[in-house]
Amino acid sequence: MLAILLAYFGACAELDPRPPLPEEKALAISDDTPLDRATAPFEARYPEQSAFRLVVEGTEAFAVRAQTARLAKRSIDVQSYIWHADLTGMYFANELLLAADRGVKIRVLLDDVDARRNNDAIAALSAHPNIEIRTFNPFATRSGTFSLMAEGLSSFSRINRRMHNKSWIADNRLAIVGGRNIGDEYFSASDDVNFVDLDFAMVGPVVRQASASFDEYWNSSSAYPMEVLDPDQVSLDALNLLRPKLAAHAAKAEQSPYSQALRTNDAIQRMINGDWPMQWAHKYQFVADDPDKVTMQERDANRAQVATALVPMAQAAQSRLSIISPYFVPGDRGTEVLTSAARSERSVRVLTNSLVANDVAAVHGGYSRYRKPLLEAGVQLWELKPLTEGKRESSFFGSSGASLHTKALAVDGRALFVGSYNLDPRSAWLNCEQGVLVENDELALQLEQIFQKETGGTHAWRVSLEAGKLSWSDGKERLNKEPDASLGRRFQAWFSRTFHLDAQL
């Protein structure tokens, strides 16, 4: 009976084609906003170059977004895979609402895998005349677990493909792109587990490249306005009910350590004063998958545009290649690229999550199939520990948990990539991804220093082969089985490895 009901409701939950909409573009830069005045002199001083800063700490990542939301006078465009309704998520929602009240044009593009659960609040914000919110590749059903299950059965091939991109663009002058979604765990604010993550803060023509990519996704036939998906919930009455809730969360945040973070991490003012170091580069490229990736045929070569840019970058390594990927499932092709480089006496180093630190145990199962071939060829592997120790940035609220979420690579101390792309089949073939490639010695060195720190014994286990068997060492002790992993996590990893679920990982 349950199967019959699921089939019935699944058949009723087909997503209608999005109606035609006028094309929208990011607002052009000018010279009349604080961010214009802060960045224009630098852009004039370094024509045709762009500036980049690696944003490592969660507090700075939070502060830069909050400050640009307050300084923006023209536009804010936000693209995110996840936007949680937690302290930071509600704080940023309130900041965008206040900016819209000041006349700033707000566009928010969310993947629907997380947005659906916050449908009513998102629809309410969409009622503001200066706020437009679209969801990418949305579910036809807007609430209910039962209807979601039914739609999953009937439309799995479509809804299995997600938009994983993350960007925050203020006045088309300053952009933040990288691995961070919007939620407490991405800004060191969770009292459970926080992510070790990384963003690029950017100024210059590369920002307009990011805006052009945002526009492409925004105008895609897969991006549905809330007015189309759930018109009844897009109402000023709902918005007026939401306002005090957002204000209350913002007030709570102001009474928390966030207020101190904003006072002590005044990143944008430091940039204006020339005291927020950024590196200028002639050679850079913003890369993003085609938003039509979610509708392309399986294994269509055009689907893997970010991967297409990264493979030659990795193959061009002359001396060393350092990779940070929380979900690392290289597959046969990726394993061939990495082992070939290692066998030719190039240093190939990879940092990923340990089984106990990985928030998706099944992914670890896919990765574990490739560990021995990689190690036998000379690839060096480290797996992140779950607990923060030493000098790693702690949570505002005292969390001791950590999980790797950074997606980056560095080549020969001269070039690097930072983005949303994991080295796994899902990023290559299913999810839409993006990132930035930059040639700059100082930035590449900084990323290698981050790699060196995170692979120290305090933070990670070095994986090696001893008499043909895997072992894990942090310099103090050596283990011969997956460190600290529960039986349940071991089973999930075993199941994924045994039944070769790589294509979904």
Query: Known catalytic residues?
Result: 164, 166, 171, 405, 407, 412
Amino acid letter for position 480: N
Decide: 10 and 155 in contact? Cβ < 8 Å: yes
Residue 371, number of CB atoms within 10 A of its CB = 18
3-state helix, strand, coil in the chain (%, to 5): 45, 20, 35
Residues 6+ apart with CB under 8 A from 187: 58, 59, 61, 62, 88, 180
Residues 6+ apart with CB under 8 A from 452: none
Per-position DSSP letters for 130-188, written without gaps between them: TEEEEEES--S--S-HHHHHHHHHHSHHHHT--B---EEEETTTEEEEES--BSGGGTT
Decide: 73 and 104 in contact? Cβ < 8 Å: yes
* HSE value, Cβ hemisphere, 13 Å, CA-based, for 503: 6
Cα 217 from chain centre: 16
User: 128's torsion region: left (phi>0), alpha (psi -120 to 50) or beta?
Assistant: beta
Q: Which two tokens stand for residue 99?
A: 């900016």
Residue 484 CA to residue 350 CA, distance in Å, equals: 21
Residue 412 CA to residue 458 CA, distance in Å, equals: 25
Decide: 385 and 461 in contact? Cβ < 8 Å: yes
Pairing of strands 193-196, 434-439: unpaired
Q: Which two tokens stand for residue 185?
A: 């765990």
